[in-house]
Amino acid sequence: MQADSLPKVYARAEHNISRTQVSENALKVLYRLKKAGFEAYLVGGCVRDLLLGREPKDFDVVTDAHPEQVRKVFRNCRLVGRRFRLAHVYFGREIIEVATFRGAGDEQNDSQIQNDDEGRLLRDNVYGSIEEDVRRRDFTVNSLYYNIRDFSVIDYVGGMQDHAEGILRLIGDPETRFREDPVRMLRAVRFAVKLGFKIDPGCEKPLHELADLLYNIPAARLFDEVLKLFLSGGALQTFEMLRHYGLFQALFPAVERSLEVEEESFPRLFLVKALENSDTRIAEGKTVTAYFLFSAFLWDAVRTQAQAFIRVGVATNIAFQDAANAVISEQIKRIAFPRRITLAMREVWILQSRFEHRQGSRPFRLLSHPRFRAAYDFLLLRIATEGVDPELGEWWTKFQVADEDEQKTMLKASPKPRRKPFKKRSGAVKSRPDNSLRD
């Protein structure tokens, strides 16, 4: 959909956005830019969320002032970004992001716009008017401008209608826009899940065809996107939609392989349960740890690799260490997990074999480990989905709260660990408490 030359302006009486819902600091930025003689609007997700009756996480401002001009207006301002320069105005912990209207530019001659061979934008520092800016935005529902001068909403691309109909539609030719920035494919899925919108059919077709473009995206940028995809409360639906469009394998290739070959749906059941738990905790206002969820994503790949090492005579603890190293080495080529997360993931995986040792001083050492709680919750998740003996979880559930005398009694009565602790068992599986995403 192309932007119209004349926008449709929705007066204050025609929409539900109130100035009282806008951050005081965002209002300060808008009014100060206006006082300095510049145009300034709220734009993007904050306008979209306000129309939905939701509280925006961030308030973004767009203006005709260039970044250096914004910095002159605000002493509490810092310029950031290379691909597109932005001004961040700081008010304590709150940051109001201020962007200059993006221009169309001359893509043949203008050195400020650079595309790679696949059509991906590498550099984009051409400034323009609001009419040009709207054409550079992604989805119509993210391209509505709230005008502080008269409290109206300005719509160049039919975003208000798409908003009312629950449709997620790209501005312009979908294939071209996805090629400009393949991460838009992930954003399409994220917004569709977050907003409960349907992706426009014209945007769906390229999703099935352009997944390989994600391999050109830096692993560090994909990490930020994956956090938004899976830690926003719709993880299970996001997972299913990413697989439907063929996008998931570009993010987690080892996971996709395991989902395709494993029998009896064991890994999928495990991962689905972890995603359900994550969504439930977020809905309840509880925290979710990224390392726990991503350790659940990669667990089957680690377990399968470790079992292969064990079959050729490698000791269990060494087998899991080597398997963890191998899986993480492959994964970080696609998503650059920070070291703090990969270390925590390794610990959760490696500690699983230690739950089998319930004699001597080993249980006490495990109980004092900083990742005990996460590893224990991970064990309960395995019990609920993989056929791991429920008695093991019951023993640790009791042991960690027992007094010293009871703990000693439990240790004396404990069985020796099995030789192959990760072999699946048949039979009924008891459900366990849902604590699997606690830190």
Q: Which residues are catalytic?
A: 58, 60, 138
Per-residue tokens: 148: 């502080």
Query: Residue 270: which of 386, 348, 375 has the closest Cα?
Result: 386
Give the H or E element holding residue 159: helix 159-165
Q: Say which residue the tokens 């899986």 belong to.
A: 327
- What is the residue type of 32? R
- Cα dist from 217 to 28, 221, 234, 322, whole Å: 36, 7, 23, 28
| CA R_g for the chain | 26
Cα distance between residue 68 and residue 230, in whole Å:
36
Cα distance between residue 345 and residue 301, in whole Å:
13
Per-residue tokens: 368: 């004092």
Query: Residue 429: which of 252, 254, 262, 266 has the closest Cα?
Result: 266
In sequence order, the β-bridge partners of residue 29 are none
Confirm if 158 and 253 have CB atoms less than 8 A apart: no
Start-end of H helices in 231-315: 235-244, 248-251, 253-261, 266-283, 290-311
3-state secondary structure of 155: strand
Q: Which residues of 260-286 are buried (b: 16+ CB within 10 A; e: fewer)?
A: eeeeeebbbebbbbbbebbbbbbeeee
- Cα dist from 106 to 35, 111, 134, 400, whole Å: 32, 9, 17, 67
Q: Say which residue the tokens 């401008």 belong to.
A: 145
Cα distance between residue 415 and residue 226, in whole Å:
42
Contacts of 39 (CB under 8 A, 6+ apart): 33, 63, 64, 130
